[in-house]
Amino acid sequence: MLNHCRVLDLTNERGFLCGQILGDLGADVIKVEPPGGAPGRRLPPFLNGQPGLDNSIYWLAFNRNKRSLTLDLERPEGRELLQRMVARADFLLESETPGRMAELGLDYATLSRLNPALVYVSITPFGQDGPKAHYADSDLILMAASGVLILCGDEDRAPLRMSVPQAYLHASADAAGAALIAYYERLGSDRGQQVDVAAQESITLAGQSTALTALIDGEETRRMSGGAKLGALRVPLVWKCRDGLVTAVFLFGSALGPFSKKLVDYIHSQGGCDDAMKNTDWVGYGARLLSGELPLADYEQKQKVIANFLAARTKSELFNLAQQHGLLIAPLSTVEDLLANPQFKARNYWQPMTHPDGGPALTYPGPFARLSQTPIQYRRRPPRVGEHNREIFAELGLGDDALIELGHKGII
């Protein structure tokens, strides 16, 4: 869909995914790295435990469908070459601390004069302005600042960080979507604009309604291992089964009550609960608990019935029952489960991709969306450092002699 577009990807690991999404959609994404390779190439874990510029699994995960060009943007000659490339670009992606691109003369105000149609995407921890714009950051800091971290972990101790960093993945996905919106507007106006994405704001949106609770004096959600707390009400969402864990919804109200009824009806049909539990009004049950009409012990006793039912069955058995009877039960999959998942296999989800050194193919997750007329394709494996210098600089009229000289100077 974007095969007529060019993207200059200057991001560090804050924004790798943004460029990859645009590349997956067909854009020619040029990953601009410093001479010697981007720092992200040195992030663990490494393939087969062997460090190397082409062995970082983190790098390999987020840099397919890109070409690599090396350029020292600390040097005037490097910045001049980038400015020449900007004149032909549709998007520029950057993730520097606010103000740094202006110091280099590569900020939106400067580059938009060279190319008024440029869509300039900035991904930062807290945004381009405000009192926290220059604060230090990490995924842990951003998760804490977003309000999401307060929900993670056990209730009797401090919150736990996410094991896989999430904040910049949300920010990068939001940035890609916003870039496309700006590009769509450009189709009518011929004018680009700057897209300002703050990771704190992106991850706060992932908290859904929890961020709004205080505004309406609602019951604030609290963390609970395997579930959540609403005041004194403990709501388990993760349950043990015979061979692992499942997530199962046993709640009430107009949205979820009917699913609890389906689950209890099936348990009753198997002799797992009495008539009184089967005949419970699950739509109105929560209101009776919260009002004090029913003691919380009543819900806790009914939870034991659900727990016993789930514990006696395997993940596969419960998933099949969920599909047959419309129950809100799903297995908590391990990586091995995912690789063997029959649904993924039926849809050819896992995709092979050649390693940069030409070694055995690596197994990649499939496209983030399936498009019937313009399917996402993995056209390019992640590039080696500066692999495409010659072909990209040739577009600027630079031949081998010029590249050799730039190499001697350390600019590429």
Query: Which CATH number fits the domain that encloses residue 271?
Result: 3.30.1540
pLDDT band at 161 (very low <50, low <70, confident <90, very high): confident
Q: 151-155, 301-305, 377-381, 404-408 — which is least confidently predicted?
A: 151-155
Whether residue 366 is contained in a domain is answered as: yes
170 lies in the same domain as 21: yes
- Angle of CA points 172, 178, 184, to nearest 5°: 140
Chain segment 186-202, per-residue pLDDT in tens: 999 999 999 999 999 99
Chain segment 23-60, per-residue pLDDT in tens: 999 999 999 999 999 999 999 999 989 999 999 999 99
pLDDT at 250: 93
167 lies in the same domain as 267: no
Number of CB atoms found within 10 A of residue 391's CB? 10
47 lies in the same domain as 159: yes
Whether residue 340 is contained in a domain is answered as: no
Whether residue 342 is contained in a domain is answered as: no
**Residue 29 near residue 347 (C-beta atoms within 8 A):** no
Whether residue 345 is contained in a domain is answered as: no
153 lies in the same domain as 112: yes
**Could you give the 3-state DSSP secondary structure of residue 198?**
strand
Taking CB atoms within 8 Å and a gap of at least 24, the contacts of 329-333 are 329/246, 329/247, 329/248, 329/249, 329/263, 330/246, 330/247, 330/248, 331/241, 331/244, 331/245, 331/246, 332/238, 332/244, 332/245, 332/246, 332/247
- Angle of CA points 195, 198, 199, to nearest 5°: 130
Of 272, 301, 335, the one marking the end of a domain is 335
54 lies in the same domain as 122: yes
Kindly report whether the peptide bond that precedes residue 45 is cis, defined as omega within 30 degrees of 0.
yes
pLDDT at 224: 60
Task: Determine the Cα–Cα distance for residues 40 and 42; give it in Å rounded to an integer.
Answer: 5
What is the DSSP annotation of 360-411?
A: SPEEE---SS--SSS-----SPPPPTTTTHHHHHHTTT--HHHHHHHHHHT-
pLDDT at 164: 87
**Residue 11 near residue 62 (C-beta atoms within 8 A):** no
> Residue 192: which of 93, 96, 104, 103 has the closest Cα?
93
Q: Letter for the amino acid at 191?
A: R
369 lies in the same domain as 284: no
324 lies in the same domain as 365: no
pTM of the predicted model as reported, rounded to 2 decimal places? 0.87
Task: Determine the Cα–Cα distance for residues 315 and 337; give it in Å rounded to an integer.
Answer: 10
199 lies in the same domain as 51: yes
Chain segment 347-399, per-residue pLDDT in tens: 999 999 988 887 778 999 999 999 999 999 999 999 999 999 999 999 999 99
Which residue is it, tokens 């399917």?
Answer: 375
Of 312, 335, 358, the one marking the end of a domain is 335
Of 335, 363, 382, the one marking the end of a domain is 335
Q: Which residues contact 232 (CB under 8 A, 6 or more apart)?
A: 296
**Could you give the 3-state DSSP secondary structure of residue 30?**
strand
- Strands (DSSP E) contained in 200-265 are 221-224, 227-230, 233-236, 238-241, 244-248
**Residue 202 near residue 167 (C-beta atoms within 8 A):** yes
pLDDT at 227: 65
Residue 68, strand partner residues: 31
Chain segment 112-152, per-residue pLDDT in tens: 999 999 999 999 999 999 999 999 999 999 999 998 888 88
Joined together, the tokens standing for residue 19 give 């460029």
> Residue 88: which of 121, 120, 66, 118 has the closest Cα?
118
Joined together, the tokens standing for residue 305 give 């019935």
196 lies in the same domain as 277: no
> Residue 139: which of 91, 199, 196, 182 has the closest Cα?
199
Query: Which CATH number fits the domain that encloses residue 112?
Result: 3.40.50.10540
80 lies in the same domain as 171: yes
224 lies in the same domain as 319: yes
Is the confidence at residue 321, as pLDDT, over 80? Answer: yes
Q: How large is the C-alpha radius of gyration of the chain?
A: 26
Which residue is it, tokens 């910045």?
Answer: 79
303 lies in the same domain as 229: yes
> Residue 46: which of 61, 62, 63, 58 has the closest Cα?
58
Look at the chain and report how many structural domains it folds into.
2
Write the DSSP symbol of residue 219.
Answer: P
Instruction: Give the domain range for residue 331.
Output: 220-335
Dmax over CA atoms of the chain, in Å, equals 87
Q: Which residues contact 303 (CB under 8 A, 6 or more apart)?
A: 236, 250
